[in-house]
Every structure is written in C-alpha cells, then in structure tokens.
Amino acid sequence: MVWKILVIVAFIAIVIGVGVYTRSHSKSVDGFILGGRNVGPWLSAFAYGTSYFSAVVFIGYAGQFGWKYGMAATWAGIGNALIGSLLAWWVLGPRTREITQRLRAATMPEFFGKRYQSNALRIAAAAIIFIFLIPYTASVYNGLSRLFSMAFGLPYEVLVVGMAAITCVYVVLGGYMATVVNDFIQGIIMLVGIVAVVVAVLQTHGGLAASVVELSQVPLEGSQMAGPFISFLGPDFFNLMGVVILTSLGTWGLPQMVQKFYAIKTGPAIKQGAIISTLFAFVVAGGSYFLGGFGRLFEDQIAYTDAGTPIYDSIIPTMLSNLPDMLIGLVVVLVLSASMSTLSSLVLTSSSVLTLDLIKGNVVKDMSERQQISWMRVLLVVFVIVSAAIALVQYQSSVAWIAQLMGISWGAIAGSFLGPFLWGLYSKRISKAAVWVSFAVGVGLTTSNMLAGLAGAAFIASPINAGALAMLLSLAVVPLVSLVTPSVPFEVNPPTPEGAIDREYERDLVGKERFDAAEPLEQL
C-alpha cells in the first residue's frame, strides 16, 4: 500500500508541476486552447492518443468486448490504429490545419459557423458538444474509480472528487500546453504499462500459449461453435464491426480529437505525428483489447448481477487484482494517466466551446481576450463539477456500463459532425440544409434509441451499433441532401498567385514577434 500511495503522490505532483510550468502559454485565447498553433509532432501525437484511450477503453471496452468476442476483440484495437489514427491524420490533418487557419476558427462550432455562414449552426453545434460530452466524461470517472476501488479500497465518491480536483488544477493553470505536455508523460507511462500488464496477466495462466489453449476450451452459451473465443472473426462478427466503426471512425467527428490538428505545426509535423500516433494506438488499444480477450479465464472470480449477467466493468480490475503491488501501482498510474489526459481534453474543449461559441457575442456582446480566458477557466471548473455529479448519480443508476455511456456520447456527437466536417473540408458543394439534417440524424437517432431503451423498447438493441449507424448515415446524408439544396459558397482550393506568400503560414514560420516586426521572410 505504501508503494502504491507513493506512486500516486509522485504522479499528482508531476502533473500539477507541469500546469505551473506551462502557465506562460495560457495568457492568450489562442495559447490557452491551441497552444499558439505551434505544437510539435511528438506532443500532438501523444495528445491525440492519450485523449483517444482512457479508462473507457482499458476498463470498459476491453472488459465488455473481450468477454463477448474473445481474442477477436483485438480487431477493435487494429481499427483504432489504422482508421482512427493513421487514416484520420492522413485525411483530416493537413486539410483541417489549412482550412481552420484560413477561416480563423479555433473550435469545431466556429468552423461550422464560418464554413457554412450560419451563427445558428455554430450555436447548435456548441450545444450538442456540451450536452453529449458529459456522459462520456462520466464514463471516464466510472472506469478509473472502479480500478482505484480495487487497488485502494476507497469509496467511489472520494475518488471521483479527487480526480476532478486534480484535473481542474493543472488545466486551469496551463491550458492546452499543460494538457499536451502531461499527455506526453502520461503516454510513455501507458506504453510501458500496457506491455507489462499483458505479460503479467497471461503469466498467471501459464503464459500466452497456455492461456490460448485454456481459452479455446471455453464454450459459448447457446452455440455449438468450437473454440469461439480464439476464432479469427469471433463468435459475433457483425456486432464486433459495430464496435470497430464506433471507436475508429468516431474520432473523425469528435471535437476534442480534431482540435489536435488545429494546433499542430504545418509541414512534416503532420506526417510524423501520423506515424507516432498509429504506433501508439497499436500498442495501447491493441494491447487493451487483446488483454480483455482473455477475460473468460477469470469468469469464476468476476462480479455478476442478480440476473447472472457479468458486470463487465469489473472484469479487467479482477484480472489485475492478483498482480504484485508494484505492478498494481503501475496499472493504477497507467489508467490514471489515460483517464486524466482524456478528461483534460474534454473539459478544455467544452469550456472553450461554451465561451467562444455560445457566450461570446450572444450573451456577452463585447468580451476582451482576458475576459474570454477567465470565462473559460470558470466554465472548465463548472463542467468538471457537473460531470462529476452525473458520474456519482450514474453510479447508482441502471445505466451502469461504461461502454453504453460512451456509445451514446460518441454516436450523438460524431453522428452529427462527421459528415459536415469531412465533406466541408473537401467539397464546395455542401449545403447548410445538409448540415442541419446531419445534426438531426446524429442527435435524433441516438437519443430516441436511448429513450426507447429506457422504456424497454429500443429499436437498435446496442447503443454501440446505434452510434455506428449514426456516423455512417452522417457521411451519406450530407452529400445526398446537398444535391437537392443550395450549397454555401466556399472555395476549398483557392488559387494562389505565383510568388504570393500565405501570411498566416509565414507568421507560423517566423513567430509572432518577428513577423510583427516586419522582417522579410528571406532574411530569416
């Protein structure tokens, strides 16, 4: 216990110290939410990866889908690496950096408002983000707190409040730069930790080969399939693909993920970041789902509901409970790292969206830069308190599984934004009406299915599949509706006169101070 406590105390001291160290970067709005748009590839890639993978993946998704699909759940990790990371960086990265610079957009709602020339769209997008990021945040608290309860035996309520307070401190102090520097430190811990944990857990059953043999002998209820949990495609490939789509394609429409492309340096940094981010995802996501695939080997130890259904969020903590104290300490820091990096990204995104897209110009007409930063800091604290309160209520409610909360959140947000954002980057023929339809599809499908589910009559049994369907529909309805409605004038590839210099790009190259001094680029 002493070892575990010392590890946690050291971790907390480091993250708060980083917040203090990076305070100088948070004196402007651009610096507070985007790090001055000058973040390098390593910091950007680790920030992307650590915001992507949290306790939701390690505790919730790995446990639930490893139990359902066995070793085939590893496909979700592979999809996260290739679609959610590599392809996202290649397709979205350069265009997002270019278009948001040209539009001078710092948030995703601001992108929608300026790209489609509609303040109403900007306000609607901000409202969707604020409302539906809350259940995702609650799910992060849930996963981390279950692990801490296993490791320390502390009450859930104490853990939620403590985690919320620590996140508040370092994000309020240092803003975006505090999150990305901490993300880099936390990402290294995650890489080392996940490898050590997979090896250690499998050793409890005689190693990898012996574990696979043992898993091959576990039957599937109601099926005559032999060795279903070591099958290449698993016992239920269709539903497994729903998980892959939601967790991989979803990142393309999530503001806290896409914002990493706003802030990265131009040029080679994006290509380098793509490779780093993909390798990170292979290790962390692939390792997490691979580990969860062996959950059935611990079926005599995990917790069950009164109806005899496994409590999925207890599977991974159970698998880890018999490890040596030193390894448990490493696991706790691993999941704490993953969760706090995700939380910091979520709260920073929400507070900036509320301030810049809802309050500024609508509630407060004239807001100075200093006032904007103050509003963001205050709302950041408010968002943390609200999400922590919901996490406490949710813990006692019937919606107890982490995966379901994340499915609703990702389905509504990415199901609303994916099509309008992706098509808006590449096509000048997209209409305002198409964006509204996509918003209606994303929010309408996921919320109506959720409400029907609470009444016991969900038309799509799995919130995961409902979210995945919303994303695919968003990609389809935007170009289809745009065919029959007037497009918003926008030149996605404006002609550049020969010899002309992109002044914003030049400013990035030479730095704000030297640019303002009007030194010719050639002399620099």
pLDDT tens for 225-246 read 788 889 888 888 888 998 899 8
- Label residues 20-46 b or e (16+ Cβ within 10 Å = b): eebeebbebbbbbbbbbbbbebbbbbb
Cα–Cα dist 295/473, whole Å: 33
Spatial contact of 180 and 21, defined as CB atoms under 8 Å apart? no
pLDDT of residue 105: 86
d(CA 500, CA 244): 44
Q: What is the pLDDT of residue 183?
A: 80
Q: Other CB atoms closer than 10 Å to residue 62's CB: what's the count?
A: 32
In this structure, which amino acid lies at residue 520? P
pLDDT at 502: 45
Assign 498 a pLDDT band (cuts: 50, 70, 90): very low
Q: How many CB atoms lie within 10 A of CB 496?
A: 9
Given the structure tokens 């502390």, which residue do they identify?
154
| Residues contacting 80, CB < 8 A, separation 6+ | 52, 53, 247, 248, 281, 285, 286
Residue 524, pLDDT score: 30
Of the candidates 386, 441, 418, the residue with the CA atom closest to the CA atom of residue 246: 418
Q: Decide: helix, strand or coil at residue 345.
A: helix
CA 453 to chain CA centroid, Å, is: 25
Q: What share of the chain is helix, strand, coil (3-state, %, to 5)?
A: 80, 0, 20
In whole angstroms, give the CA distance from residue 92 to residue 97: 8
431 beta partners: 487
Residue range 430-479, pLDDT digits in tens: 999 999 999 999 999 998 988 888 787 888 888 888 888 999 999 999 99
Residue 249: pLDDT over 70: yes
pLDDT of residue 146: 62
Cβ-based neighbour number of residue 78 at 10 Å: 17
Mean pLDDT of the chain: 80
**Quick check: helix, strand or coil at residue 267?**
coil
Whether 445 contacts 476, CB under 8 Å: no
Q: Which of 421, 398, 424 is nearest to 489 (CA)?
A: 424
Report pLDDT digits (tens) over 268-321.
778 888 999 999 999 999 999 999 999 899 888 888 887 788 888 788 888 887
Mean pLDDT in residue range 159-176? 78
Fold held by 2-401? Sodium/glucose cotransporter (1.20.1730)
Q: What is the pLDDT of residues 191-223, one digit of tens each?
A: 888 888 888 888 888 889 999 999 999 888 777
Q: Where is mean pLDDT largest: 30-44, 85-99, 337-351?
A: 85-99
**Which of the given ranges, 4-18, 133-147, 430-444, has the highest pLDDT on average?**
430-444
The answer on pLDDT for 375 being more than 60 is yes
Q: Are 56 and 406 in contact (CB under 8 A)?
A: yes
Number of helical H runs and strand E runs in the chain = 22, 0
Does the pLDDT of residue 397 top 70, yes or no? no
What percentage of residues in the chain have a pLDDT greater than 90? 24
pLDDT at 406: 66
Give the number of other CB atoms < 10 A from CB of residue 290.
21
Centroid of chain to Cα 292: 20
Residue 346's pLDDT band (cuts 50, 70, 90): confident
What pLDDT, on the 0 to 100 scale, is given for residue 511? 45
Q: Which of 60-74, 151-165, 295-309 has the lowest mean pLDDT?
A: 151-165
Q: Is the pLDDT of residue 512 over 60?
A: no
Per-residue exposure over 245-262, b if at least 16 CB sit within 10 Å of its own CB, e if not: bbbbbbbbbbbbbbbbbb
pLDDT reading at 45 higher than 50: yes
pLDDT of residue 151: 61
| Length of the chain, in residues | 524
Closest CA to 35 of 187, 182, 178: 178
Closest alpha carbon to 34 in 510, 353, 492, 367: 353
CB atoms within 10 A of CB 358: 19
User: Where would I find the H helices in 26-155?
Assistant: 29-34, 41-52, 55, 62-69, 74-81, 88-103, 108-115, 119-152
Using the predicted structure, report yes or no on whether residue 509 has a pLDDT greater than 60: no
Dihedral sign for Cα atoms in the order 402, 408, 409, 410: positive
Q: What percent of the chain clears pLDDT 70, i.e. is strictly above it?
A: 85
Determine contact, residues 63/291, Cβ cutoff 8 Å. no
Sign for the pseudo-dihedral over CA of 375, 378, 379, 380: positive
Q: For residue 54, give the nearest of 382, 380, 346, 322 by alpha carbon.
A: 346
Model confidence at 3: pLDDT above 70: no
pLDDT at 366 over 90: no
Taking each helix axis from N to C end, the angle separating 325-353 and 369-395, rounded to the nearest 10 degrees, works out to 130
pLDDT on residue 516:
43
Give mean pLDDT, residues 417-422: 95
Instruction: Categorize the per-residue pLDDT at 500 as very low, low, confident or very high, splitting at 50, 70 and 90.
Output: very low
Lowest mean pLDDT among 90-94, 175-179, 191-195: 175-179
Which residues face 402 on adjacent strands?
none
